[in-house]
Amino acid sequence: MYFRVFLLLTVFYTNGETLRILGLFEHAGKSHHWVFDPLLRKLAEKGHDVTVISFFPQKTKIPRFTDISLENLTYIGFEVWNLTRVQRTMMQTAVHLLELSAKRTCAAVLPSPQIKEFLKGNLTYDVILTELFNTNCFMYVAAKVNAPIIGLSSCAILPFWNELFANPDNPSYIPMMFMDYSDKLTFLERVENTLVLWYHKLYFELVMNPYTQKIVNENFPDHIDVSAVAKNVSLFLVNTHWSISRPRPFVPNVIEVGGLNLAEPESPPQVNLVDYY
């Protein structure tokens, strides 16, 4: 009898393990956080301990969810845009807007009391979730935590992140995200697509990355190479779907998760159309 009970308990026993998860989101764009927030909330709901550093803390307290809010930082550049800056070619416009927001965000976030205080605390986490957008700023924090890193993107992959994963981005048939092209490009469109792609990659590598490293070095004495830390990202979840963004090749650790932020559909209201006619 006891053996049967033991056998049943053994068969139906499931081992549950909660993780300490750190979310690092330095971008101050609300539309980006709308993509990540449902995932973070669901992780806490499933029993994991979630700590999130971002500009958008929860409005109401959530169990097992800790916010480290950056929302009181000084002007970062999203309140006012100088529209004369976008009177350029597509090749120039996108990358300079990305650069502007990245520089202002890094300069405000890294020296902030919130980050300095966090780095003095318990840095034991099992995994890090962080946005891969226009800067490597928070890779310094990721390096101090020293946990596996999962990258998230709220949009199509920006061209410079493909390099981290050796993800194919052949410009002969994969339109760069800022270009209004299909996958059926003419010769001249391929030439332009190639130029824009490499312009963004080189600008990120030669201009934006050095600036980020400069801010890191000014604020922290150990001068950790944040570009090298970014190369340790293990997995990249991208908010796209082939049905909208067109099919394209991905390496195994770059995964499309388009619609991850969508809630379960509610039951439609029971409406009698006769009442309206």
Is pLDDT at 14 greater than 60 in this prediction?
A: no
* 209 Cβ contact partners less than 8 Å away, ≥ 6 residues apart: 136, 226, 227
Helices and strands of the chain, counted as H and E runs = 10, 7
Examine residue 7 and state whether it is found in any structural domain, yes or no: no
pLDDT at site 218: 94
Is pLDDT at 97 greater than 90 in this prediction?
A: no
CA–CA dist 81, 97 (Å, integer): 9
Examine residue 167 and state whether it is found in any structural domain, yes or no: yes
Say if residues 237 and 154 touch (Cβ distance below 8 Å).
no
Distances (CA, A) of 62 to 8, 47, 68: 36, 11, 13
What's 126's DSSP letter? S
CB atoms within 10 A of CB 121: 9
Examine residue 266 and state whether it is found in any structural domain, yes or no: no
Say if residues 149 and 164 touch (Cβ distance below 8 Å).
no
The Cβ-side half-sphere exposure at 17, using a 13 Å CA radius, reads 4
Q: Mind listing the pLDDT tens digit for each residue in 229-264?
A: 999 999 999 999 988 888 889 999 999 998 888 877
* Domains contained in the chain, number: 1
pLDDT at site 180: 78
Bridge partner list, 67: 52
Mean pLDDT, rounded, for 87-106: 73
pLDDT at site 86: 54
Mean pLDDT rounded to a whole number for the chain = 85
Q: Mind listing the pLDDT tens digit for each residue in 118-167?
A: 999 999 999 999 999 999 999 999 999 999 999 999 988 888 899 899 99
Query: Which carries the bigger pLDDT value, residue 14 or residue 234?
Result: 234
End-to-end Cα, the chain, rounded Å = 69
Examine residue 183 and state whether it is found in any structural domain, yes or no: yes
For residue 171, what are its two tokens? 């410009």
Examine residue 268 and state whether it is found in any structural domain, yes or no: no
Examine residue 227 and state whether it is found in any structural domain, yes or no: yes
Overall pTM > 0.75:
yes
CA–CA dist 90, 196 (Å, integer): 8
Mean pLDDT, rounded, for 28-52: 93
Examine residue 5 and state whether it is found in any structural domain, yes or no: no
Query: Which carries the bigger pLDDT value, residue 92 or residue 67?
Result: 67
Is pLDDT at 37 greater than 80 in this prediction?
A: yes
Helix or strand run (H / E) with residue 233 = strand 233-238
Is pLDDT at 175 greater than 90 in this prediction?
A: no
Domain harbouring 178, CATH code = 3.40.50
pLDDT at site 1: 57
Is pLDDT at 91 greater than 90 in this prediction?
A: no
User: Which residues constitute the domain of residue 170?
Assistant: 18-260
Is pLDDT at 181 greater than 60 in this prediction?
A: yes
Examine residue 38 and state whether it is found in any structural domain, yes or no: yes
Say if residues 192 and 179 touch (Cβ distance below 8 Å).
yes
CA–CA dist 171, 195 (Å, integer): 9
